[in-house]
Structure 1
Amino acid sequence: MSAAVAERSRIWACPELGLHAVVDAAGSVSLGRPDQDRACLVPLVEVTATGHGRLWSGERFIETAVGERLTYRGHETVHEDGRERTVIRLTDPVTGLAADVTLEAGAGEARTGAGFLRTWVRLTNEGDTPVRLESVTTLTLGGITDADGSLDGLSLHWADNDWLAECRWRQSAFRDQVVPLSRAAHGHEGRGCFERYSQGSWSTGRHLPLAALTDRDGGAWVWQIESSAGWRFETGEREGAAYVALFGPDDAHHQWHQRLAPGEEFTTVPAVLVRAEGGGLDAAFGALTDHRRRIRRGHPDHRALPVIYNDYMNTLMGDPTTEKLLPLIDAAAEAGAEVFVIDAGWYDDDAQGWWDSVGAWEAAPNRFPGGIREVLDAIRRHGMVPGLWLEPEVVGVRSPLARTLPPEAFFRRGGVRVTEHGRHHLDLRHPAARAHLDEVVDRLVGEWGVGYLKLDYNINSGPGTENGHESPGAGLLGHHRAHLDWMGSLLDRHPGLVLENCGSGGLRMDYAQLAVAQLQSTSDQQDFLRYPPIAAAAHTAVTPEQSAVWAYPQPHFSLDEIGFTLTGALLGRIHLSGFLDLMSAEQFALVRSAISVYRRIRPEIGGAHPLWPLALPDWEDPWITHGLRTRNGTLLTVWRRESPAGGPEPLPGRRHADGFDPAVHTVPLPHLRGSHFDPVVLYPTVSDCATEWDTDRGVLTVRLPRPNTAVLLRLGAVGSE
């Protein structure tokens, strides 16, 4: 053991992650693994403040002057709500900043073989002069290496996100992104890092707020930032090891700064770090799934998982009327739907269109001659819960509310009201904005009997709002915290209400929102052949029981196409759509069969853990798999798509079976090796799928004779895992 290690005192430990918080002889606290020299670690909190920048200038937001000065002054451990929390207290003698770092550790279920650490930081100005914050870490960790102590075996994983193209995971060797620069020759690390960050008010409009490092032995570190406003992470090299630093908003990327007068405080957004010693990303995402279930608000919907019909996607597309809805309601109920959602357009009576006139959320008389309650009553008579689409945070520029609400109730920058795509943005910190939305929801839910609200969000309002002297990024964070509080208050007043989080599909897919909302829209993707990579990867971002996937069978679809679009939704939450009322008896029977299968398996979904036997999918992959490990075995979805651009399917490669038969694929399932069972096709029953299970090798062979087909399989039996 080196002298540097021997001089440190351990003040906290997390056995599940193998992490310790230690204090060195100078009082500096860092988080790392045992027996690591401090040189490769990072101060527990890094802060940039105006007048107090970094010790080594560049793109990195570590090695800060304040972080270097923060010293230990105590810690305590408390038990609250069945959780153990440790608060480590630090202080900076120059600025007077005090940092309280909360560490909340836990273990995933036994079969995930991983643990997690959730942290946040509260800064208080205990000095006598104001401090202008520009960035604050929520979590830092150094000393990450491969088993041999080098960086050569590490891989970096991150997810790009876009409208219609959500959850696109990328993988790269760490050394391809962070190249060795010969520190010995220069005396310094590089000035750069690998970073990803949000831009504007779509928290996941560019990337997901999570990423991972994996090693050659199956170890994985996965992190998640829980912010609906700005966020950023960076990873790079420090003294021959990798480090990770997680942030909420900062000045350089989000126009965020926070002035702390003496006595004032600021709390960062939370973040979580997951460690799996083996099992790779599957094990780490399993533990992250457990964490997400642990932090979210409890709700009966997480257990019931009702089937939802929504009239929008590839169906009414924002043009609902009584005449169009009533036959869809009849057909949805007969198919087995339990919730019926009237999506966008129910308020539209404007000759110029509804996009820039929304805000009052009154039913359109011309669309519902007998009143919208006639339609809502029809939904209830069929035993379904009525739902409505709502975009609460916006007011159209032509809406009367744009003139009657006070100017301070809207986002403003430079004293000018923000306008984006024909809309203004409400600031839910203002009592008039909140009172308006409370009146709307209490009318829809309390008077009309609506039990489901799809809360959409279709503009990126930019960096935020300036309320007085605050920065835009601080205004955005303040609004989003008020927005989450408002959502929670709705559920307090209406405990049975279900809230769906939608941001033009999956553009606000974060666990600040999802700790409150019951469901997450995964995409607006209308091409059923493009949906599989989104549906397969969605459980990296969302728990299965919150992950809503569109299934929009149509009368002009073949039976294979109907089976394809329905299969993709069966391991999450079904958002059924399509003109079911116009289908043939054979087509409709295939829809009913899917809903019947879903009802049988849904009790298993809420406690399941995701897995990806062929790794996370690429956008153009012809073969894609995604599964759930449940208490009754493994549920596995397999898609076979035509090759890109309709050309011949590629020869077998990384994700193809040995041999040259494009209809056959092998799927490794090592967790089932040694288990004896016969694979069962759950859906579609008309599938020509053939399977063969190799018990000794733990390999499943799947044959799908036609492209653009999919199948849901059950593997194993109770107790086999």
Structure 2
Amino acid sequence: MGAKSTTAPVTDEAVEVVLGALVVRLVISDDAPVRLLSIVPAGRPIAADDVAAPRPRVTPLVELSLAGESHVRHSHDVRHRNYAASHRLRYVDHRVDASELVVRQRDPETGALVTSRLRSITPDSVSATTRIENGGGTDLTVEYLSSLVLSGFAEVVAADIFERLRVHDARMSWTGEYRWSDRSLTDVGIVDVGIPHATSSSRTSHSVGASGSWSTSTHLPQGALEDRETGLIWAWQIEHNGPWYAELDDVGRDAAIALSGPTYRQHHWAETLAPGEVFESVPASVAVVHGTLDTALAAVTRHRRSIRRSTSVGLPIIANDYMNCLMGDPSTEKLLPIIEAAAAVGAQYFVIDAGWYADDNGWWSTVGAWTESQVRFPGGLSEVLDRIRSLGMTPGLWLEPEVMGVDSDALAELPDEAFFHRSGRRVAEQGRYHLDFRHPAVRRRMDDLVDRLVSDYGVGYLKLDYNINVGEGTDVGPSGIGTGSLGAGLLGHDRAYVAWLDGIRERHPRLLLENCASGGMRADPAQLAATHLQSTSDQEDPVLNAAIAVAAPSAMPPEQAGVWSYPQPHYSDDLNDFTMAQSTLSRVHLGGRVDLLDPRQRDRVRSALAVHAGLAEFMPVAEPFWPLGLPGWSDEHLALGLRSESRQVVAVFRRGGSETIELPLEGRARDARVLFPTDRAVQLEPTPSGVRVTIPADPGSCIFEVVSRD
């Protein structure tokens, strides 16, 4: 369909726009804001009652709050709804082409021009942003701007909506990542307050979000709302590497989800626009499908692959000296035997983690110069890196580019305005100052560092860590002049940092970039789109880590999920198999003391890595699924599957409970064969609904491939 534009004002006219396999349904009027009816798969008829329904039931396309004013009703309402500026917006025009819907509205009182852009990414998903331009003659300060507001979840007025709609979101914590829940509206605090009007609501909400600079320290910036009656699921995500906010409200006998980046109320964010200036929200997206939560997460996986800017580099096996190994205390003497052992079991990259730049372990507050320690490496760091290359592996190094220690020798290399400030003081967090990547001196210095590591040392991998949460942000801009809100400073830095990552990839297309923030504390779609791999956790217990490893592909494509496996000489064969199996269906981060394993133990590690290598072409096109559901933290039985049109591979873990596990699997009758470990007493038995797996060991594991029978 070619581009078309409509500008004539109308009264309550329904507009349907097809984007991929989805239909966006709007109501445009001459005396009200543009309102969103729903985003649903194509083919679902629009109900006349949806257009004629009382207007408060239908959600505005945009929620906008300006400084000096707030809500137009319900003064005690703490939700991001019913803002005065939102209600003043009036339709200007809309434009549609084959993959994009653009809707413009204007606030006649302030002159603000608000543009909503919904773009088809995959057949099942759309990405949305909102842009505001100050078209008036005085400054405007924006305190809230939605990226995407979703509604139309209950297409009929239903008395059971509070149980019928299911809310899915995921809690995060350090070493306890990706913990999903499945709750009703009542479970999350939204109840039927007994007022009979269809437009009534409890004026409460269920919200999730992140504060400060760790975008995923408390929740994943994603979730889903499932209608158990129609089988429709809306899976959303906010594509930002800093503060964000998602709010689920009841709206009459329906619900609405407002997605945004930072807000004034939650994050000390406000953006002041002079006449003619513009601001654009962070992106948000939604995938809409019929099916189960697995179906929705598969659609989100396809969307994430489509927006990823990092190019595919295969699935090289990565060894790293940190986890349950040297733990930030490397040296030539300690590293060489580990490097030899990693190469012997099949590693293709070897990464020297934290500590390579400091003479002793007290380096936390001195980081920032990023020059090698002569004490740790008396023959030079190049001696170790050359040994890595001589064994056929690519060397890598750890960096924490956004911080500089308060005792660093490099502090004088940057001007004061290159650091985060609050109320006239440089922000110190856990012995580190935070660099502002909006400042050209910061970017230039870090570009020079990366270029030097690649050219002088031949580094082909950078683990980019981030171990502090700097809080609300900075109120000083790169010029050294105060720039208003703390949140605006943090947002500017976050966007500049992602742009810096894009520049690294452009200059060094063969350099692998791993995103890490004390494990998974910044595992958001913006960072994932700009890097090749994501560290999933810092969890050191292999039994606990199984829940993290199984759930991680819900937050990222499996080929980006860097999962630690750390075999140890004192582990049993079953426990070593258990830890190795956790990374086989994701990306191997091989830790542990592989140098101390005996020949038989090394053979077991080697066989697990061989299975992983055999998935190199399959994994980047496969979609994750969870035969036993997304794991609970203490579940005794866990399972993760990957499937494509031609192949299905499943990893099963036992952490107690029965040794027999029934796995429901879709499709025709099938056989199954064990891929790893092949010498244990694991049994597979096809059943009419799936496969029965028997794992005698506790903890124990099994990776098997499903083979369909004609």
Report the TM range for the smaller structure's normalisation. over 0.9
Aligned to 1:261: 274
Supply the distance in 2 between the matched residues of 1:15 and 1:579 (Cα, whole angstroms): 50
Counterparts of 1:38-187 in structure 2, within 5 Å, are 38-55=55-72, 56-57=74-75, 58-78=77-97, 84-108=99-123, 115-145=124-154, 149=158, 150-151=160-161, 152-177=163-188, 178-184=190-196
Aligned to 1:333: 343
Aligned 8 A contact 2:157 2:254 in 1: no
Q: Deviation at 1:286?
A: 0.6
Q: Deviation at 1:107?
A: 3.7
**SS of corresponding position for 2:462:** strand
Aligned to 1:454: 463
- Residues 214-247 of structure 1 deviation map (CA, whole Å, 9 limit, x = unaligned): 1224321111001111100011211210111101
Aligned to 1:706: 697
Q: Which moved more, 1:85-94 or 1:22-31?
A: 22-31
Q: Deviation at 1:6?
A: 9.3
**SS of corresponding position for 1:436:** helix
Aligned 8 A contact 1:16 1:106 in 2: no
Aligned to 1:665: 661
Q: Which moved more, 1:433-442 or 1:537-546?
A: 433-442
Supply the distance in 2 between the matched residues of 1:679 and 1:403 (Cα, whole angstroms): 63
Supply the distance in 2 between the matched residues of 1:386 and 1:571 (Cα, whole angstroms): 24
Q: Which amino acid aligns with 2:64?
A: V
Aligned to 1:354: 363
1:229 corresponds to 2:225: no
Aligned 8 A contact 1:189 1:237 in 2: yes
Aligned to 1:545: 559
Supply the distance in 2 between the matched residues of 1:15 and 1:617 (Cα, whole angstroms): 32
Supply the distance in 2 between the matched residues of 1:492 and 1:78 (Cα, whole angstroms): 30
**SS of corresponding position for 2:145:** strand
1:465 corresponds to 2:488: no
Match for residue 319 of structure 2 among 309, 312, 315: 309
Match for residue 221 of structure 2 among 195, 209, 218: 209
Supply the distance in 1 between the matched residues of 2:323 and 2:431 (Cα, whole angstroms): 23
**SS of corresponding position for 1:119:** strand
Aligned 8 A contact 1:146 1:154 in 2: no
Q: Deviation at 1:300?
A: 3.0
Ranges in structure 1 where 5+ consecutive residues have no aligned partner? 109-114, 643-648, 650-661
Supply the distance in 2 between the matched residues of 1:704 and 1:345 (Cα, whole angstroms): 40
Q: Which amino acid aligns with 2:498?
A: L
Q: Deviation at 1:401?
A: 2.2
Q: Deviation at 1:131?
A: 1.0
Aligned 8 A contact 1:632 1:717 in 2: no
Aligned to 1:683: 676
Q: Give the alignment's TM-score, normalised by structure 1.
A: 0.91
Aligned to 2:449: 440
**SS of corresponding position for 1:687:** coil
Aligned 8 A contact 2:32 2:87 in 1: no
Given the superposition, is the C-alpha separation of residues 14 and 566 from structure 1 closer, same or farther in structure 2, using an over 3 Å criterion?
same
Q: Deviation at 1:188?
A: 4.4
1:366 corresponds to 2:375: yes
Q: Deviation at 1:17?
A: 3.3
Aligned to 1:405: 414
Aligned residues: 678
Given the superposition, is the C-alpha separation of residues 148 and 605 from structure 1 closer, same or farther in structure 2, using an over 3 Å criterion?
farther
Supply the distance in 2 between the matched residues of 1:488 and 1:449 (Cα, whole angstroms): 20
Supply the distance in 2 between the matched residues of 1:267 and 1:107 (Cα, whole angstroms): 22
Q: Which amino acid aligns with 1:9?
A: A
Q: Which amino acid aligns with 1:358?
A: V
- Residues 419-450 of structure 1 deviation map (CA, whole Å, 9 limit, x = unaligned): 00000000011111112111211111121110
- Residues 366-399 of structure 1 deviation map (CA, whole Å, 9 limit, x = unaligned): 1111100111111111111100000000000000
Q: Which moved more, 1:592-601 or 1:697-706?
A: 697-706
Aligned 8 A contact 1:9 1:24 in 2: no
Aligned to 1:530: 544
Aligned to 1:17: 22
Supply the distance in 2 between the matched residues of 1:25 and 1:436 (Cα, whole angstroms): 53
Q: Give the alignment's TM-score, normalised by structure 2.
A: 0.93
Aligned 8 A contact 1:8 1:25 in 2: no
Aligned 8 A contact 2:177 2:548 in 1: yes
Supply the distance in 2 between the matched residues of 1:402 and 1:254 (Cα, whole angstroms): 29
Aligned 8 A contact 1:41 1:243 in 2: no
1:583 corresponds to 2:579: no
Given the superposition, is the C-alpha separation of residues 89 and 187 from structure 1 closer, same or farther in structure 2, using an over 3 Å criterion?
closer
Q: Which moved more, 1:676-685 or 1:239-248?
A: 676-685
Aligned 8 A contact 1:623 1:641 in 2: yes
Q: Which moved more, 1:187-196 or 1:628-637?
A: 187-196
Supply the distance in 2 between the matched residues of 1:576 and 1:122 (Cα, whole angstroms): 44
Supply the distance in 1 between the matched residues of 2:197 and 2:116 (Cα, whole angstroms): 36
Aligned 8 A contact 1:310 1:577 in 2: yes
Q: Which amino acid aligns with 1:323?
A: E
Q: Which amino acid aligns with 1:691?
A: L
Supply the distance in 1 between the matched residues of 2:416 and 2:120 (Cα, whole angstroms): 44
**SS of corresponding position for 1:269:** coil
**SS of corresponding position for 1:500:** strand
Aligned to 1:30: 35
Match for residue 205 of structure 2 among 193, 211, 232: 193
Aligned 8 A contact 2:676 2:704 in 1: yes
Counterparts of 1:384-395 in structure 2, within 5 Å, are 384-395=393-404
Supply the distance in 2 between the matched residues of 1:212 and 1:322 (Cα, whole angstroms): 49
Alignment identity in percent?
43
Supply the distance in 1 between the matched residues of 2:281 and 2:234 (Cα, whole angstroms): 21
Supply the distance in 2 between the matched residues of 1:481 and 1:564 (Cα, whole angstroms): 39
Q: Deviation at 1:146?
A: 7.2
**SS of corresponding position for 1:513:** helix
Given the superposition, is the C-alpha separation of residues 146 and 529 from structure 1 closer, same or farther in structure 2, using an over 3 Å criterion?
farther
Q: RMSD in angstroms over aligned alpha carbons?
A: 1.8
Given the superposition, is the C-alpha separation of residues 28 and 186 from structure 1 closer, same or farther in structure 2, using an over 3 Å criterion?
closer
Given the superposition, is the C-alpha separation of residues 24 and 147 from structure 1 closer, same or farther in structure 2, using an over 3 Å criterion?
same
Supply the distance in 2 between the matched residues of 1:566 and 1:632 (Cα, whole angstroms): 25
Supply the distance in 1 between the matched residues of 2:391 and 2:243 (Cα, whole angstroms): 43
**SS of corresponding position for 1:89:** strand
- Residues 516-536 of structure 1 deviation map (CA, whole Å, 9 limit, x = unaligned): 011000000000000111111
**SS of corresponding position for 1:356:** helix
Aligned to 1:652: none
**SS of corresponding position for 1:557:** coil
Supply the distance in 1 between the matched residues of 2:586 and 2:275 (Cα, whole angstroms): 49
Supply the distance in 1 between the matched residues of 2:372 and 2:679 (Cα, whole angstroms): 43
Q: Which moved more, 1:709-718 or 1:134-143?
A: 709-718
Q: Which amino acid aligns with 1:221?
A: W
Aligned to 1:479: 493
Q: Which amino acid aligns with 1:373?
A: S
Aligned to 1:290: 302
1:273 corresponds to 2:280: no
Aligned 8 A contact 1:49 1:133 in 2: yes
- Residues 620-644 of structure 1 deviation map (CA, whole Å, 9 limit, x = unaligned): 00001111112432111110003xx
